[in-house]
Chain A
């Protein structure tokens, strides 16, 4: 939904120009693109198979050898390769969870906000109920019953984190639905569905996009978290989260094993957040930045 919304704004050149004027956003975009490219082309870039072990070369420090540029872990697996493949997992989960969150949250928010009345009351009480449970407990409970695959993890994360988006969209819609152009659209014979998804949602695109990018970041964190706790991606498959788990036993002697996945998680979260800010500024047609 957001994808088409973003495209529908047309005037791509002007958008790109505004976006480029935003330095942090540009930085965020570059980081995100690099991370995505690295994850996408992991099989081509990675010097080793991520699960291939070489017990003669354990705990090798970074920048010591050309065959293992970022060193090796406790059983001699190549850290760079594991980081690349782990990135695939993290970013896939982040993006799929974000899409789930936005689709669910935006639909529920726009329905509640536009239809109002008992629909609104019912949906918002459902949101309240969902918010009563700490997300991590929900995740862990569900993960205990459903075997962790990439898709199931993404869906679980997505379906436990859409409430914020639905509240944002609802409040946005409550304000927008009283605008003249909605009355004007009704006066032209637009149906409720059309008004909700074609007239109202595009106007809420900016906050949705910002929320969406934040959600990628938080989904990446969540994935790391449940993988770290052992309920997510299962070894020997690498994920930044379970790399942290493995590294914690050796933190005092070989800190880089924890630092490297940690830095990547931070970079990803930061990159998506800056990207969101930049998009928000660039997409608002009422803002004219002459930078």
Chain B
């Protein structure tokens, strides 16, 4: 891609503010295991605007991380295949791009940070060089300039004594500092989209709050869109603007964060919200839980995947799977019985 064309491609969507920078539509992922083929993701869709954070919420195994990896095109192996849908970054379908072009986008226009900061850094390469890497790879920054930029980035993610830390190796840093480093690496090229896969799950609570604060500040500063994957509704309430709830490889509800917490429209979302422990003055009743477990992908039912655990389920729910239905300007839900929730 020529520099000029690239600059035009970057400038054009900025004028059309409010248009989504990333739009995922009908995304499907299939896993072949021996004789069977599992549908791990089915018809996943959401969109992300500039400077917006979308929380992607769900239990373990609901397909959150797989969604993130699929939209970065990092899942394809001989057994795993993205077999349908569209992932459009500023209107360009990433799923149709050749691998080389995709490599040029990763780390430059769309970046990712991972759950486990202890293992997400190469143990034998110094912190500084790992931050310089995307700059030199994507922006062609010179050796010296990249070194200075790395120190500046460390400073930007709130690491004191950045010049010294840049010379350290990952094992010399704490978990919180390492996560700051992975963030510095991810934002080095000022990406349009940052995918954060459970960025605070492996950290202790005080550090969690700091990292979330840092991500919020960086977003405000750079205007990047953020896909925040988490199972922690507290993190969502604190950080996200909108939420997409996933269950068994599908999106079952999307809503602005306020609306979702005020009035969830899917029984699963309601169950999730009820199962958050609260500190109340009088001793509350036993903590609510959702009965049963997520169905295995091998035994996905014909109808709604949540029907077996749902108190509102009817024969219709068991027989036919509800599609995601728009019920407001910003809200959609996949439930036959959403009026009753």
Contacts and interface: CB of A to CB of B under 8 A. Distances in A.
A188 B134 contact: yes
Given A180-B114, A189-B108, A189-B138, A205 B124 contact: yes
Interface in B116-161: 116, 119-126, 133-134, 137-138
A203 B185 contact: no
A134 interface: no
B137 A180 contact: no
Given A10-B126, A181-B122, A181-B123, A189 B134 contact: yes
A290 B186 CA distance: 35
Contact of A187 (B72, B104, B116, B137): B72
Given A10-B167, A184-B114, A184-B182, A189 B107 contact: yes
Nearest to A286: B171
B106 interface: yes
Interface string A6-18: 0011110000000
A181 B119 contact: yes
A202 B124 contact: yes
B112 A189 contact: no
A131 B103 CA distance: 38
B124 A185 contact: no
Contacts of B133: 188, 190
Interface in A246-291: 285-286
Interface string A163-191: 00000000000000001110111111111
Contacts of B121: 181, 184
B103 A191 contact: yes
A74 interface: no
Interface in A1-60: 8-11
A184 B112 contact: yes
B105 A203 contact: no
| Among B111, B125, B169, residue most surrounded by chain A Cβ atoms (within 10 Å) | B125
B259 interface: no
Interface in A189-243: 189-191, 199, 202-203, 205
A285 B114 CA distance: 23
Nearest to B117: A180
Contacts of B107: 187-190
Nearest to B100: A191
A120 to B, nearest CB: 12
A186 B123 contact: no
A286 B172 CA distance: 9
Contacts of B105: 189
| Among A8, A188, A203, A285, residue most surrounded by chain B Cβ atoms (within 10 Å) | A188
| Among B78, B108, B123, B138, residue most surrounded by chain A Cβ atoms (within 10 Å) | B123
B104 A9 contact: no
Contacts of A190: 103, 107, 133, 137
A185 B134 CA distance: 9
B74 interface: yes
Contact of B137 (A11, A179, A186, A189): A189
| Among B116, B133, B171, residue most surrounded by chain A Cβ atoms (within 10 Å) | B133
Contacts of A180: 114, 116, 119-120
A203 B116 CA distance: 19
A155 B254 CA distance: 65
Given A180-B114, A190-B137, A203 B74 contact: no
A11 B104 CA distance: 32
A180 B114 CA distance: 8
| Among A8, A184, A185, A199, residue most surrounded by chain B Cβ atoms (within 10 Å) | A184
